[in-house]
Structure 1
Amino acid sequence: MDDFMKKFGSLLLVAVFAGAITLGTYKLFLEKPGYTIVTQDHEAKLVTTSYTPTSARGAGINEVDFTTAAEMTVNAVVHVKNVTINQGPANIMEFFYGSGRTQRPQVGTGSGVIISQDGYIVTNNHVIANSDQLQVTLNNNKTYNAEIIGTDPNSDIALIKIDADRNLPYLAFGDSDETKVGEWVLAVGNPFSLTSTVTAGIVSAKARALGSFDQSFIQTDAAVNPGNSGGALVNTNGDLIGINTAITSQTGSYVGYSFAVPSNIAKKVIEDIMEYGNVQKGILGISTIPMGSPYAIEKGINEIDGVYVAKVEEDSGAFDAELTEGDIIKKVDNVDIRRYSDLIGYIASKRPGDELIVSVLREKELFEVPVTLKERQTMIIPHLGFEIKNLTDKDKKTFKTKKGVKIIGVPETFRAYDLEGKVLISFGDEDINDIKDARTKFGRITRYGRTSVTMLNERGEKERLIIQ
């Protein structure tokens, strides 16, 4: 039995050694190498999909420092509160005793930007419109009463002022013409009454047309919400390049895009208000055909790179420079003009008397011509829709009047009254001096109001029209 166990043990030992030698030979000479590294880190691994070298600091937003611009801006942006007192509905006690109606204050909020150390603040006109009381709260929570210095509804810009007990931090206007599409910007304001909120985005587009505004806007995707209106749009250097004005939204809150009045336009409006008391607006004196309209498609001008001149106003800068129908404006000064919003956006930063160098394409020939901007000589008056123009010296002699405006177009509803070509000389008992005066006076007409206007025909006879 012992001999058997010894033989069995010897055979088992030989078998183990033989197996080890065979396995080792296979591993060493026949099996292809393959290694698996096992660690205790179970997080997903990053795999690069490109061999393009990347920046050690990262890419895009990680390379932009917003902190300096934010620090420079937040203390110069204020919270604006507009208090409007509305009369409540009449009640039975008022009917018997003549007591006053209940006064119910309504509060609207927005933002503003301090533009001088003595307390001048730029904001949106719609932020302070119809206010009975204005209050401005600084970033340090101090509140001051504010007065309105001037407004311009056309650009939606207003200037207000507070009297503080110290010099205030302020922002200087930057050059919005130098702003580039794709450039990083910050929107600073007070959305939903939250103070000193900073959001970041890029310039999505320049010279963007927006609704009925006769100017162009900077479009950005920085988050802007109700309460941001009147706040600052700044670049990463902290330069004020726009005043946040509007958003596109079906809900009333931010959904992707917002719009700002370019700083060059806002600066010009503010300077006009401070120097002249109103906005000095120069016009080129041309009208164009809207791209995409059936007429533009029919005339083959729908894809023109520039502004097609469809009509030139008499007594305008374009008229004096002999621009004509069919000309295509390609550039103004050093600014490329590719669409009408480019043109009106640039001209909105200019005044009557400013001279521009206009590049014009006429019958395949490109040339430059100087054009001096003039004040608008025609306009559409509110409510009635009459197109009117200032009187020329010839008109004054013909109608024997020194004041008034000439009707040069009427809507279809007034065609039967034979008004075209006549001169409006008074609104009620007040004289009409020029088209600006007419716009102000006719702006008072309400839906249920009733007034009269006096006109002159070419025979010098007065005619009266009752408007109701």
Structure 2
Amino acid sequence: MLADTLNRRFLAPAALGVALSLGSVAADPAAAQGRPDTFADLVDKVDDSVVNITTSSTVAAGVRGPNPGNPLEDFFEEFRRNLPEGEDGPRRPPSRRGSALGSGFVISEDGYIVTNNHVIENADEILIEFWSGAELPAEVIGTDPNTDIALLKVESDAPLPFVPFGDSDVMRTGDWVMAMGNPLGQGFSVSAGIVSARERELQGAYDDYIQTDAAINRGNSGGPLFNMDGEVIGVNTAILSPNGGSIGLGFAMSSNVVTRVIDQLQEFGETRRGWLGVRIQDVDPELAEALGLETARGALITDVPEGPAMEAGIEARDVILSFDGKEIEDTRELVRTVGNAPVGEAVRVTVFRDGATQTLLVTLGRREDAERPVPASAEEEIEEGPDSKELLGLTVATLNDELRTQLGLEDDAEGLVVADIDADSAAYEKGLRAGDVIEEAGQVRVSTIRELEARIAEAREAGQKSFLLLVRRQGDPRFVALSLEEADAE
């Protein structure tokens, strides 16, 4: 097991209030947020707007349910396996029902509800339970897997209590916050803490997390993180933990990201992010000196495939310094700024090229359209690609029957074998060795070199600084994050 596990699938603000003491008073007492004597008044103000979410879905036979680790599920599965043939009825049923729990909150009196996408993903039925005990079925209006946000809708005869969004950008490290939700299926629960950090990035190109020590546990995914005015400044989404429980490292997607997503889901039923169409990397001091830049900032263009940037005249080796009037410090800021820009509108992009700056007008495309796979021709579908290739300091080869036998793998094992590795590479320093099998890249299963190359290209285009691999060695899987920047430098 990893020392730190990212539990993004089952999270939650949890159980009891947290008593904290502050070592000193803020330098500016007028701006300081005083320690509340109680959170009870705040709970009374917002509790009617927080909901529990129960989903049910059809799970194929042999597939674990949405709540793995359930002892009853394990017991009955073992019971079925041990019964003599023919005595258990449908020993391997074609499907079964599974359920999962999560949290959410009402954002309008006409019944719009926000939660995490992973709470309702693949659900056949969604049931909303309110603080009062009332229950209503919900339908999905839209989802955004990139930020793990989903928008639901219920129909109610009476207006529903709701909570407003606050401005997450004004939150400061050390400000008090309160989380509400359904930890471990225990029902409505409250926890309190402070903002531990801001602008945290976990895995996604659009990540902007508020880190908090308010207790967050499995089961409260999608629950609200409140400021002391009763405004939602974050949606509880993830925890870092070695055991799956709260250790004071919780993450809530910031409200200023969530509101933009929700606005688009309400209007279109989907997100519509701007797309520039470039591959980029950060500018370090060595690159800045080589390019003639006075300071190491901006986003260096490494490739310009066909798309809006190429049509506007942007070239490889250009450094984007500003986008639509906003100064660009690094690739992460460019990705988020472009993603928030309107599709189909012309924006001014200032680039540094050959020792001087110039401004180009770019009409943005839509990222969701650009990311859709293009149907391959019959010839492309048959073509297998190279048998081995060097990527990220690794020489990877496609699995075949000979390699499966040599490595002691199952006949249906899929992935790419690390045939060789550069001892001076970052991959070697991270513990990868020849004989390891790469099963996933960027959280997607890969079985061909072309698929791995595509995942690496997408990660680079999205401005990611690291690339996550799921590697299996002698039957034991583990995740390894490799730096794309170091790979580019090599």
Q: TM-score range with shorter-chain normalisation?
A: 0.5 to 0.7
Query: Does the aligned pair in 2 maintain the 1:229–1:244 contact within 8 Å?
Result: yes
Query: Does the aligned pair in 2 maintain the 1:69–1:235 contact within 8 Å?
Result: no
Counterpart of 1:329 in structure 2: which amino acid? I
Distance 1:172 1:355, change over 3 A: farther
Write the distance in 2 (CA, Å) between the matches of 1:309 and 1:268: 27
Write the distance in 2 (CA, Å) between the matches of 1:289 and 1:307: 6
Query: Does the aligned pair in 1 maintain the 2:172–2:195 contact within 8 Å?
Result: no
**Does 2:209 correspond to 1:218?**
yes
Write the distance in 1 (CA, Å) between the matches of 2:32 and 2:445: 58
Query: Does the aligned pair in 1 maintain the 2:238–2:250 contact within 8 Å?
Result: yes
Distance 1:155 1:53, change over 3 A: closer
Counterpart of 1:200 in structure 2: which amino acid? G
In our comparison, the structure showing a higher alpha carbon Rg is: 1
Q: Paired residue for 1:168, among 160, 185, 195?
A: 160
Distance 1:342 1:67, change over 3 A: farther
Query: Does the aligned pair in 2 maintain the 1:57–1:63 contact within 8 Å?
Result: no
Matches within 5 A, 1:350-369: 350-363=341-354, 365-366=356-357, 368-369=359-360
Matches within 5 A, 1:89-238: 101=93, 105-177=97-169, 179-180=171-172, 183-193=175-185, 194-202=187-195, 204-206=197-199, 208-211=200-203, 213-221=204-212, 222-238=214-230
Distance 1:296 1:311, change over 3 A: farther
**Does 2:35 correspond to 1:62?**
yes
Distance 1:61 1:104, change over 3 A: farther
Distance 1:446 1:311, change over 3 A: closer
Write the distance in 1 (CA, Å) between the matches of 2:248 and 2:370: 38
Q: CA deviation at 1:328?
A: 2.7
Write the distance in 2 (CA, Å) between the matches of 1:139 and 1:93: 47
Write the distance in 2 (CA, Å) between the matches of 1:247 and 1:366: 43
**Does 2:54 correspond to 1:81?**
yes
Q: Paired residue for 1:324, among 299, 304, 315?
A: 315
Q: CA deviation at 1:378?
A: 4.2
Q: Which range moved further: 123-132 or 337-346?
A: 337-346
Query: Does the aligned pair in 1 maintain the 2:297–2:321 contact within 8 Å?
Result: yes
Query: Does the aligned pair in 1 maintain the 2:288–2:296 contact within 8 Å?
Result: no
Give the unaligned 5+ runs of structure 2: 1-22, 63-79, 388-443, 448-490
Write the distance in 2 (CA, Å) between the matches of 1:155 and 1:231: 14
- Structure number with the bigger relative contact order (C-alpha 8 A, sep ≥ 6) is 2
Write the distance in 2 (CA, Å) between the matches of 1:326 and 1:447: 31
Q: CA deviation at 1:58?
A: 12
Counterpart of 2:333 in structure 1: which amino acid? D
Write the distance in 2 (CA, Å) between the matches of 1:254 and 1:405: 46
Secondary structure of residue in 1 paired with 2:150: strand
Write the distance in 2 (CA, Å) between the matches of 1:363 and 1:446: 41
Write the distance in 2 (CA, Å) between the matches of 1:58 and 1:217: 24
Distance 1:87 1:379, change over 3 A: closer
Task: Work out the percentage of aligned pairs sharing the same amino acid.
Answer: 31
CA RMSD of superposed structures (Å): 4.5
Query: Does the aligned pair in 1 maintain the 2:178–2:190 contact within 8 Å?
Result: no
Q: What is aligned with 1:337?
A: 328
Counterpart of 2:193 in structure 1: which amino acid? A
Q: What is aligned with 1:414?
A: 385
Q: What is aligned with 2:421?
A: none
Query: Does the aligned pair in 2 maintain the 1:268–1:350 contact within 8 Å?
Result: no
Scaled by the length of structure 2, what TM-score is found? Answer: 0.57
Write the distance in 1 (CA, Å) between the matches of 2:90 and 2:252: 48
Query: Does the aligned pair in 1 maintain the 2:180–2:188 contact within 8 Å?
Result: no
Distance 1:447 1:365, change over 3 A: closer
Q: How many residues align?
A: 344
Q: Which range moved further: 125-134 or 345-354?
A: 345-354
Scaled by the length of structure 1, what TM-score is found? Answer: 0.60
Distance 1:236 1:256, change over 3 A: same
Q: Paired residue for 2:266, among 274, 296, 314?
A: 274
Q: CA deviation at 1:131?
A: 1.9
Query: Does the aligned pair in 2 maintain the 1:73–1:188 contact within 8 Å?
Result: no
Q: CA deviation at 1:348?
A: 3.1
Write the distance in 2 (CA, Å) between the matches of 1:148 and 1:247: 25
